[in-house]
Structure formats: structure tokens, C-alpha cells
Chain A
């Protein structure tokens, strides 16, 4: 059974993570980690409940969200439609009161449905390391994943979200309405100049080893009027970009088909 450590400062927590390396797991809301069983000795759970990471600070141009902010608090504090939709799609109300913004970004597929919304919003992640604070774009963070597991980048302390300059949408395909794992999840943020798309971020989770931005789908809609041809091209690009797994939730075939369907639906909502 691992040992629970509850550091009282961010520096102390970052030191513990650096010192224990792969033997350390960060325990935030516990909705993923507490499901594990511990048949063998060893390892450390590093609790982050005493670090003051449970606040949302609103400022000019955006929000600074503590990594230990529960999803239900994020929903109340940050009025962005895609983000609010995402918080309702993860677990039931009890899980939303417990699961944290930071913790969800480390969830293994097919879990982790907050990430597409934050990818679409271009969020930045701030880590405390033994050597000081580092900031990384959320897409770089996911690019660093290997074999479905996150990089050891230090302690995630906050998520910086800029006020969106376009419209955003979020949809999760699942086997029932609430409290259920993802078949595929799609979020998009689209900026328009007149009727023409001038910028787009389209992100997916559930149908690949980790969440990612789909450059092919973005290219297909930039410069278009989100017309049928552009949306069809974006859906096709997403279908070929995902690497779905077959599990008890859905087959590879179904996840790929639904990827196209839900990219279309999300873009239709933004047309």
C-alpha cells in the first residue's frame, strides 16, 4: 500500500515529486486514483489538498484556474459554453464535486473529457518543478505523452484560459446521457471574419491514446464558410487522424464512425 503524503506548500510538493519520481502519484480529487487497489507495498500518494490550488482567479482577458478546482466549481466560475458543457459530461454530480480540473487532464483514455475543451480554447498549463515554474501549451503537454501515459513534468498548479475570441462548442458521444465513458468527444473553437473562418481549433478525446488537436480538420475549415464540403473534409480528416481502441465501451470501427459524425455536429453548431 502506498504512503499518503500531504505537503503544505507547492515547493514541498514539487520536491516530493522530483525526489520520488515514478513512485509518486499526485492525488487530487481521487476519482481515478482511489479506484486503484494496492496489493503491494511501496509508492507515494502526494495529496494536493493543502496547497491552495482550489481557486479560480478572474482577470482582464481570462481566468487563472487552480489545478485542484473541482469541475462543478469551474462550471460556476468560467462562463464559456464549451467548458461548462464539458464539466457536465464527466461522471455524475458527486464526481463533478470531487474530480479536479488538473486531475482530469491526466486521466487515461477513454476518460479525460475536459481536455478537448481546453485544447479548443488554447489553454496553457503551469507546472511547479524543483527548478521553478514552467509554462506549456496544453497541446505541447499532450504531444509529450508516450504509451498513453503523461510525461513527468512536475506539479500542475494552474491552467490559464484566455477569454475566447470565437465561438466554441463541445459534444460527447456516449452510450448513455450522463455519467458514462466517452466513445469520442469533440470540441471546437472557431473565429470568423465575416462569413469566413479565420482561425479554428478542433480537438478530440476518447478515440486516441490521449486528447489531441486535429490539424487536418482545422486546415479543412480555415478559409471556408463552414459549408458542406469543408465540414465533410474536416470529418474525414478527423476520422483518419484518430487511433481508436476497442474496449467494453465501443469498437474501433464505431469510435471512428462517430468521430466523423460528431465533428460534423460540432461544426454545424458553429456554422
Chain B
């Protein structure tokens, strides 16, 4: 195909909404205005782990301007849910509104709907919750040690069980113990990442507006409009056709707007009051309550030959899912699928677990699961290079995957570009490579 036939490749293509952005004419969810709109504020758990003894909403309901107060007793459909239940992920473990227990500080308990944002905030502050505090667990290894309290009956050992009854997302390729026995060096270390907040400029929010036809229109900034509609319908026990979701304009998402965090309760509030209801996270809620990229802990053990070949890699990973599952089982699958990094080695063993703690639930963020893997793998590569006294560029080139290599997850590699990428980076960085490393390509691995 000649370049002439390509309409887009190699050209600048106009961004359709740029002029609208520059003029300030793009309509985000909260740029629509309805008369008599109400505002929703959530009363949230003050404890990271506690039994709920009593919830008293009388003072909140009597607070000036408060129109409606919603607890779990008002939920017409599901009390607990998981966004991926429709594709078989489960069991559903997360309360829509907490009832018997709270498992993280910030967990929603009571929604207060009022005439103004200030009145909603004042009403929510008057909800009284009596707690019976329980010991909390905040460390992934402590959580699965057997001595920590179980967060839910679903996961008695505080870790996820995959549908095939495995405790982890696993890779078993070759025999790592044999590889370690044959290796000249063993290099091992522990790696830890922190939770990261997506921090979009626009916080999570929606407006639910009842219509005369019995349908509810929802203006939302979700990143996944059909997903949000179907989950909202499932949670509330509604036919999806009762909900008309308008989305697509997102003031920054980065994975932080796929949790269906605001729509179900706003729709319920709109149904109860017959009035438009807006639920907008404050910046504090966005930072403290909305889900983060999960924190990971990894242990990596490598068997390395004197010439730099890595002959065995064993990885044990713990994803801190926080109190509930959300998308973490998928995150650990992606994490395991990314291992052992863009390198070919004959023996690989991976266990990637999803662990539950009393931290805020974690969820999607740009390549979740993968970033922590790359972070740890590349630090480990540098450590290997240092241990055997080899140039880290050369170590990576030597081990980089080639076309035709069998990957640890048993897929034959195609379209490899790692060797050429490292060579290009070395040229740009002014790092000189020996001739034999400059001559390497993604097609030339000799059968070893």
C-alpha cells in the first residue's frame, strides 16, 4: 500500500472538540441546569473496620432544607454488587450502602438529599452512626497471614479465589527450582508501589433527572456509559430501558471514572423525590474516597548465568485491593500476563494475588497491574546487571524477547521490537553499545 492511500497516517489530524474546548463551549455533565435541582451528600464511615450498631437519621432528616434520606433499607434491588457480575466475576461483595459493617474509612452509609449543597452537607453531618470498632488490617501480607480478621465471609483468608479455584493468577512455565540450581547467581529483592489517585480535574459526579415518561435521564461523566447504565439498572432492579444515560464528555478519567460510584444512588434519589438530583464529589472525596490505582508488593527471585542470561524468574505479587474486589481480579490477571517482562527465559513461576485490607478499594488506572510489574521488573534488571557486573543495556538486549520465542504464558512471540527500541534509546542517550549488541535484531536469536 502506498502512502498516498493512507488518509491519516503521517498527518496531523484535527481534534474534533478542540475549538469547543478553547471557547469553553464543551458541555460537561454539570453544565446543564434544571430548576428545583436537589443536591446529594454522602455520610461516610469514620472507621476503617467496625460493626454498625445503629444508624440514626432523624436529626439529618429534620435538618433545614433536607428533602430525603436514603439508607440500605431504601434500596429496591441489590444490597451488594460488583460491576463485573454480568461477565461472571463474583461473588458480589460490595454494599451499595453499608449495613452491618464498614470495611474502610469513607465507605458510604447514608445519602442525604437537600435543597442546596450546603444544606445537604449540614444534613449529612447530622447522621449519627454508632460503631463497634474492629481491629483493622492495612498490610497485604499481614492480611493473609491467618492472624488477621476476615473482612467478609466471601474471602475467609482475605484474598480472592479465581473461578478455577486458584488463590492467585498464576504462570507455571518450565521449572524455576531447576533453573535456580543451575544458575551462577541468585538475585532477589522486594518491591513496593504506593496507591495513586487519578486526580482528574473534574471530580466524579452526575445529575439524575426524572422525566414525565417514567424514564430517568442521567448526565454523567463516567468513562463507561453503557457499563454505568447497565450496572445502575441491575443495582436498582430496573429495566435498562428506564434509564437514559448521557455521557461521553469526561473532564479527565484515567480509570478513575468507571466505578459507577454516583449514578445508582442519584437515580434512586431522583425516583424518590421526583426532582433532579446532583451528586458531585468534592475534591476531598475525589482524593480520599474515590478508588486509586492499587498498591502492589512484589518479591522477585532470579537465577542468572555469568554471561547475563536469566534462566529462572520467580515472582510473588500481592495487589492491595482495599476492602472490596471491584476490578482487581482483572488487574492481577493483567499483572501476571505481563510477566516476566519483555524478556525470554526458560523457567518462570508467578503467583499474583488479590488481597483485601481495610484500605479504600482500588480500581482501574491506566494499565493497572502492568505499571507495578514494569516498575519492579526494571529495577530488578538493574540489580541483576549490578550483581554480575554487566552493562544494564546489554543485559536487557541479551534477554529481550525475539520473534518466535515461546512466552511464559505459552504464546509464540510475534512483532517483537524490544531490541530495536533499546538500541534506539541507547543512540538517543549517547550510550555506546559493542558491535555485537548493535547488530542484534528481533529476528536473530540463536536457538539456545
Instruction: Spell out A's residues near B (CB within 8 Å).
Output: 1, 37-40
Contact = CB atoms under 8 A, between A and B. Distances in A.
B241 to A, nearest CB: 39
Interface in B94-125: 118, 121-122, 125
A165 to B, nearest CB: 45
B118 A40 contact: no
A1 B125 CA distance: 13
Contacts of B121: 37, 39
Nearest to B124: A39
A153 to B, nearest CB: 31
B402 to A, nearest CB: 42
A38 B121 CA distance: 9
A37 B122 CA distance: 10
B369 to A, nearest CB: 26
A197 to B, nearest CB: 45
Contacts, number: 9
A38 B125 CA distance: 11
Task: Give the 9 A-B residue pairs with the shortest CB-CB distance, closest first.
Answer: A39-B125, A39-B122, A39-B121, A1-B118, A37-B121, A40-B122, A38-B118, A40-B125, A39-B118
B16 to A, nearest CB: 30
Please indicate which of the listed interface residues A37, A38, A39, A40 has the most CB atoms of chain B within 10 Å of its own CB: A39
A39 B118 CA distance: 7
How would you classify the secondary structure of chain A's contact residues: helix, strand, loop or mixed? loop
8 contacts: A1-B118, A38-B118, A39-B118, A39-B121, A39-B122, A39-B125, A40-B122, A40-B125
Contacts of A40: 122, 125
B281 to A, nearest CB: 14
Contacts of A37: 121
A1 B121 CA distance: 11
A152 B118 CA distance: 29
Contacts of B118: 1, 38-39
Contacts of B122: 39-40
A66 B143 CA distance: 58
A262 B118 CA distance: 43
Interface string B111-149: 000000010011001000000000000000000000000
B60 to A, nearest CB: 12
A1 to B, nearest CB: 6
A268 to B, nearest CB: 33
A38 B118 CA distance: 8
A39 B66 CA distance: 13
A215 B125 CA distance: 46
B82 to A, nearest CB: 31
Nearest to A38: B118
Given A37-B121, A39-B122, A39-B125, 6 more contacts: A1-B118, A38-B118, A39-B118, A39-B121, A40-B122, A40-B125
A112 to B, nearest CB: 22
A45 to B, nearest CB: 14
Nearest to A41: B122
Nearest to B283: A35
Contacts of B125: 39-40
Nearest to B120: A39
A32 to B, nearest CB: 16
Interface string B269-283: 000000000000000
B125 to A, nearest CB: 5
Nearest to B121: A39
A37 B118 CA distance: 8
A1 B122 CA distance: 9
Interface in B364-416: none
Nearest to B118: A1
A35 to B, nearest CB: 10
Nearest to A1: B118
Contacts of A38: 118
A75 B118 CA distance: 37
Nearest to B284: A37
